[in-house]
């Protein structure tokens, strides 16, 4: 008496022979039905995969499909159709009366001939291409890195359709193609994101201290290492912010700041324009003290601003500048508040580059 394992083995051998018979176009109608039922019903069976793998790796000797052109394969199919219906075209052209063919037989014969390339494609896509895709998913993705130099802004579109703007002195690391169940990028500096919606693949912006998770939304993330805080501003949609203190869900028109040292979270309702206008070439200040303004101007114009008098740090300003030269901004600020400034000349360094300009700001006498 045979064991269950032996029965399965005999079944696989029988199906392997049936597959070869189908390939040679020698199957009966009943055998075609058995073959298709087997492929559809036992798709995930390991034995089925072994049979198909062996068929793919060791095709019958007359198989030249992989080495012929598409036109040659098509001619071969046409030839087989003519063989399947001998005299059909000749009798039609000669005007002789013929007995009408059984259309069920015609459909079956054509199916047997034409389903061969379909079966081959079925095996390739469902078994071998899928396996290759899974191997690709297990490989480490190819990573790209783009840097926006100090004094410039850049924009780009990621492979999923997400649009990104990088502010001065920022860096973004991202995969060449998003795979798996999430889309993750790494940000240093400041970036604005218009995330392409994908419910099944959340988009995550990681920084050293916070992570921002979104499905499809518009938001800004600012995380310069030399600042005291990092922040995110939500313009539309919904995001989840993860910090060492836990998770927090944000709503549109909210701004969150997280202290690098204090680990404190400050969440406020705001007009997001102040935090996102930079991507359109605007510098927007609303009740900002000069210390914060100096930090933004330093990155924007690639200069070093030194504040000589402590009182200057606490002066506040509300203004919007659109692609204004630095000296014009400083001149306007000196008109509305009692400050003066002095701009040093750049000097050549040993490596052939030039130093940053240094701007000293102090109270008027």
37-91 per-position pLDDT tens digit: 776 666 566 666 666 666 666 666 654 444 444 445 445 544 544 444 444 443 3
Q: For 265-284, how does the pLDDT look when each residue is reduced to its tens digit (9 = 90+)? A: 999 999 999 999 999 999 99
Predicted pLDDT at 8: 54
What is the b/e burial string over 81-97, where b = at least 16 CB atoms within 10 angstroms of the residue's CB? beebeeeeeeeeeeeee
Task: Give the DSSP letter of residue 161.
Answer: S
Across residues 30-37, what is the average pLDDT? 73
Domain positions in the chain? 4-138, 141-273, 281-365
138 and 132 in contact (C-beta within 8 Å)?
no
Is pLDDT above 60 for 116?
no
The predicted pLDDT at position 17 comes to 79
For the chain, what is the mean pLDDT? 78
Cβ-proximal residues to 133 (8 Å cutoff; 6+ apart), any chain:
none
CATH 2.30.42.10 corresponds to the domain 281-365 = no
pTM > 0.75: yes or no: no
Confidence label for 131 from pLDDT (cuts 50, 70 and 90): very low
Share of the chain above pLDDT 90, in %: 53
Select from 1.10.357.10, 2.60.120.260, 2.60.120.1440, 2.30.110.10 the CATH code of 141-273: 2.60.120.1440
* Residue 324 Cα distances to 275, 276, 282, 345, angstroms: 18, 17, 9, 20
Question: What gap in Å lies between CA 254 and CA 246, rounded to an integer?
Answer: 18
């Amino acid at each position: 008496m045979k064991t269950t394992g032996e029965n399965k083995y005999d079944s696989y051998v029988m199906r392997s022979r049936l597959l070869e018979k189908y390939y040679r176009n020698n199957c009966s109608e009943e055998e075609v039905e058995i073959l298709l039922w087997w492929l559809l019903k036992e798709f995930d069976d390991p034995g089925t995969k072994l049979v198909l793998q062996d068929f793919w790796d060791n095709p019958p000797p007359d198989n030249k499909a992989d080495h012929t052109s598409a036109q040659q394969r098509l001619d071969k199919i046409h030839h087989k159709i003519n063989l399947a219906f001998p005299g059909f075209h000749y009798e039609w052209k000669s005007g002789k009366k013929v007995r009408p063919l059984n259309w069920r037989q015609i459909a079956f014969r054509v199916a047997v001939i034409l389903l061969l390339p379909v079966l081959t494609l079925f095996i390739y896509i469902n078994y071998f291409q899928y396996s290759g895709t899974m191997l690709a998913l297990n490989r480490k993705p190819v990573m790209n890195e783009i840097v926006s130099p100090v004094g410039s802004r850049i924009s780009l579109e990621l492979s999923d359709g997400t649009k990104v703007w990088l502010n001065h002195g920022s860096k973004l690391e991202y995969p060449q193609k998003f795979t798996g169940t999430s889309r993750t990028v790494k940000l240093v500096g400041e970036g604005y994101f218009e995330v392409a919606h994908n419910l099944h693949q959340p988009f995550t912006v990681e920084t050293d201290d916070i992570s921002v998770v979104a499905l499809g939304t518009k938001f800004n993330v600012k995380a310069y290492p030399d600042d005291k805080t990092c922040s995110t501003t939500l313009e539309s949609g919904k995001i989840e912010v993860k910090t060492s203190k836990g998770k927090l869900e944000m709503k549109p028109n909210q701004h969150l700041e997280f202290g690098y040292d204090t680990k404190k979270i400050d969440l406020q309702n705001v007009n997001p324009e102040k935090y996102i206008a930079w991507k359109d070439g605007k510098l927007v200040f609303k009740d900002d003290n000069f210390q914060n303004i100096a930090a933004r101007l330093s990155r924007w114009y690639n200069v070093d601003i030194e504040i000589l008098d402590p009182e200057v740090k606490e002066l506040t300003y509300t203004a919007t500048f659109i692609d204004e030269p630095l000296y014009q901004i400083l001149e306007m600020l000196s008109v509305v508040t009692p400050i003066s400034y002095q701009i040093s000349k750049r000097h050549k360094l040993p490596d052939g580059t030039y130093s940053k300009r240094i701007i000293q700001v102090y109270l008027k006498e």
